[in-house]
Amino acid sequence: MNDEFTKSILKSMEYERQRQAPPEEFPKFPTIPAGRYTDDKFFKLENEYLWAKSWLYVCHLDEIPETGSYLLWEKTGTPIILLRDENRKVKAYYNSCRHRGGPLINEQKGKLEGRLICKYHGWCYALNGELSLVRDKRDFIALNQKDLSLKSIKCERLGNWVFINEDPDAASLIDYLQPLPQHLVQFQPENLRLVDSRTYQVDCNVKVLLDAFFEVYHLTVVHKDTVDRFLDHRGTVIKLWENGHSVMITPNRNPEWTDPGTIGMPVIESVTQIPAEHNMSFNMFPNLVTPMAGTGMPFLTFWPKTKSSMEIDCHWFAPEGSEEGFSELWETRINNFERILEEDLQFASQLQNSVESPAFDGLNLNYQERRIYHWHEELDRRIGPDRIAEEMRVEPLLKNYLSE
């Protein structure tokens, strides 16, 4: 992140503080239909064309540290195995034997001794996915083991973060994330360690909660005694990028302020001025939100369970070499964060009841909330407008407002 970017953001912050209206000619957003949050058919379209065809964060290398280490990952409803093969390369396979679909893994994590074994009929696979042993092979006619390797899934890394995509035709992770990688390199993702992971169950549609993390319009009401005390939401700068990605940079009210929960923690020295002195929160479409800081950061990932329930995972990462601070300092920091998260979650079930009410027609967004509209535009592109009922679509309006 260069000096030109820093100067541009600081100038934009001042503009945002001083403006009396949205930029001239910025479009008025049509109402986002309520049915996008409640309709069974739309929920099915999301599962088929969004979650099954997107790059999704699955784990950190610390969770599968050595050859044979594995995780069973089921966030999208499909059981997927993440493991380290004989060359310690990360691989992803469907947890389904090519014989009759028996499970190869039935524990959430562990270490394999050189092979995967079907729990139903004992077929064996090498860690590279190749079928290596078939019991009573004599009874199979013209069986070609080479054609029966495990079904693999695209699996790539950004630093120590591992992502998967079930779409075999998907672009590479790095190409898909552009321009995010160039902004994230300063945080040295190849050196970050996993500190903690927690999951929270929430009774609302996944988009209801995601929306709250795309804007700071709610700070003065929901977070008046916490976040609003040190962040100036009126100075927030937003950048919208291709593929639905975005960033939101909210200045501190006091430039000299430091989060007391981070005092004493090791700092990534390469972190630049903007994330060091302000709150810089990225969205990697579709469901990863991360407010980055020089002392470490969370990955917040949002997962649908049903049309009206979801869960949010919070994974915390810290600079290499900070193990001595993982216990006491991080416990305090995470507890502070949970207090803020609880403020966001407190109305989730009531919000869900409201969006299901016949009185609710849809979302009426303002300029500060344009990341929400940007996200919905990208969702329609992923699904394909022709597959969406006309009354359920959003009008594409933001193409000319994307940044490079």
- What is the CATH classification number for the domain harbouring 93? 2.102.10.10
Question: Are 394 and 271 members of one domain?
Answer: yes
The answer to whether position 182 is within a domain reads no
Question: Are 97 and 204 members of one domain?
Answer: no
Token code pair at residue 170: 């998907």
The answer to whether position 186 is within a domain reads no
Backbone angles phi and psi of 378, in degrees to 5: -65, -35
The residue out of 130, 156, 182 marking a domain boundary is 156
What pLDDT, on a 0 to 100 scale, did the predictor assign at position 327? Answer: 61
What pLDDT, on a 0 to 100 scale, did the predictor assign at position 258? Answer: 75
Q: Which residues of 304-317 are buried (b: 16+ CB within 10 A; e: fewer)?
A: beebbbbbbbbbbb
Residue type, 198: R
The answer to whether position 146 is within a domain reads yes
Outline where DSSP puts E strands in 203-245.
Answer: 237-240
The residue out of 156, 182, 216 marking a domain boundary is 156
What pLDDT, on a 0 to 100 scale, did the predictor assign at position 182? Answer: 94
Measure CA 306 to chain center.
18
- The domain total for the chain is 2
What pLDDT, on a 0 to 100 scale, did the predictor assign at position 164? Answer: 98
Question: Are 128 and 210 members of one domain?
Answer: no
Question: Are 96 and 207 members of one domain?
Answer: no
- Give the per-residue SS3 of 62-117: HHCCCCCEEEEECCCCCCEEEEECCCCCEEEEECCCCCCCCCCCCCCEEECCCEEE
Residue of 331, 303, 296, 301 lying closest to 314 (CA atoms): 301
Token code pair at residue 96: 């389904």
- Residue ranges of the chain with per-residue pLDDT less than 50: none
Residue of 393, 391, 397, 374 lying closest to 383 (CA atoms): 393
The answer to whether position 49 is within a domain reads yes
Question: Are 288 and 240 members of one domain?
Answer: yes
The answer to whether position 229 is within a domain reads yes
The answer to whether position 231 is within a domain reads yes
What pLDDT, on a 0 to 100 scale, did the predictor assign at position 329? Answer: 83
What pLDDT, on a 0 to 100 scale, did the predictor assign at position 364? Answer: 97
What pLDDT, on a 0 to 100 scale, did the predictor assign at position 321? Answer: 60
Residue of 299, 110, 290 lying closest to 199 (CA atoms): 299
Question: Are 120 and 36 members of one domain?
Answer: no
Residue 348 maps to which CATH number?
Answer: 3.90.380.10
Question: Are 129 and 226 members of one domain?
Answer: no
The residue out of 102, 132, 156 marking a domain boundary is 156
Question: Are 111 and 139 members of one domain?
Answer: yes
The answer to whether position 167 is within a domain reads no
What residue numbers bound the domain in which 282 lies? Answer: 3-53+191-401
Render pLDDT for 333-374 as a digit per residue (tens, 0 to 9).
999 999 999 999 999 999 999 999 999 999 999 999 999 999
